[in-house]
Amino acid sequence: MIKVSIIVPVYNTKEYINKCLDSLTKQTLKDIEIIIVNDGSTDDSQVIIDEYTKKDKRIKSFIKKNGGLGDARNYGIKKASGEYIGFVDSDDYVDLTMFEKLYNKAKKEDSDIVECDLYWVYPNESKLDIANYYDNKKDIMYNIRVMVCNKIFKRDILSKNDILFPVGIRYEDIVFTYKLLPYIKNISYVDEPFYYYIQRGSSLSNEQNAKVRDIFEGFDIIRKYYKDNKLKYNTELEYLNIKLLLGSSFLRILGIRDKELRNKILNENWEYLNKHYPNWKNNSHLKSSKSPKNMYYRLLNKSIYKLSSIIFGIKERH
């Protein structure tokens, strides 16, 4: 029986893919399948993939027309047959014990999701990112890290609820995770860093441009999904909008060099939050939390928001 299907989207990562695939083919968990989805690469990535396919029968290689990260992952999900599914980007790599330890934890605690810690790997340093513990469903909704690559997911839950990634936009992990969360009963945590998330200047995660607007479309998709499926987590979704629009998205916008475009998207960011959640300052989680970030958010009005963009923007672009 295949215990974990590991989905690896590939797009022009020939410089990195060897290290990625070495870390997967040498996993201590042997009952895995490695589903490689070449999303229309124009470099020699497929040449390398073919070499690994000849050496390891657990590798299933597919080539498709370029459709983006979400589309490639969806393609892989439909080909997967494992009890659990994991996602590894082809420019990253993992600890050799990752999937054995996550799978064993899943079986021990009958988990729908198991996550681990990870390293953000920069050219000159690595930063440890430690996960949160979750006491109840609301804790999960408020605090889960939306990235999918440091987790495994029970495949049955994805298939039964038709959970897939959005196609053609960034922030696909947010949409995927928040479509899935209402159906999760048990999430577990292994407090070891197994995933190495490579930060490179040309990668999608580091592009500071107008694509940051995709977060609006992502939130629209999530809100519609909850409404259509009569899922009542409005307070949780409101808080998600607050912490991302005023937090990580705000900082990404500040990285845009074009001043006119930067100010335009900053205004759109503020207006989006206030249009869809005009009473967001009364969010119960925001009001009850004593974290410095939430205290800062509670102080914000449009004037302070603009002032913050000037102060933080100087630091962000230098």
Mind listing the pLDDT tens digit for each residue in 221-277?
999 999 999 999 999 999 999 999 999 999 999 988 889 999 999 999 999 999 999
Residues for the chain: how many in total? 318
What's the chain's average pLDDT?
Answer: 93
Mean pLDDT of 6-29: 98
Element (H, E) at 61: strand 59-64
Name the architecture of domain 4-205.
Alpha-Beta Complex (3.90)
The helix/strand/coil state of 111 is: coil
Quote the percentage of the chain above a pLDDT of 70: 95
From the centroid of its chain, how far is CA 3?
22
Q: Residue 304, Cβ neighbours under 10 Å: how many?
A: 11
pLDDT at 316: 52
Least confident of 10-14, 62-66, 131-135, 155-159: 131-135
- Distance CA(197)–CA(286), nearest Å, equals 30
Band (pLDDT 50/70/90 cuts) for residue 318 is low
Mean pLDDT of 141-168: 95
Question: Residues with Cβ < 8 Å from 223, sequence gap 6 or more?
Answer: 237, 276
Closest to 204 (Cα-Cα) out of 5, 12, 8:
12
3-class SS shares of the chain: helix, strand, coil, % to 5: 50, 20, 30
Query: Which alpha helices (H) appear in the chain, and where do they start and end?
Result: 17-25, 45-55, 69-79, 98-109, 137-143, 155-160, 172-180, 214-228, 234-243, 249-254, 259-276, 284-288, 292-299, 302-316
164-217: pLDDT as tens digits:
999 999 899 999 999 999 999 999 999 999 999 999 764 444 445 678 999 999
DSSP state of 182: G
Domain assignments of the chain as residue spans, ordered by start: 4-205, 208-316
Record the pTM.
0.93
Cα torsion for 55, 9, 99, 175, to the nearest 10°?
Answer: -170
Rounded to 5 degrees, φ, ψ at 185 are -100, -35
Residue 220: which of 204, 239, 241, 235 has the closest Cα? 241
Average of per-residue pLDDT across 83-94: 98
In this prediction, residue 206 carries a pLDDT of: 46
Partners of 86 in beta bridges: 6, 152
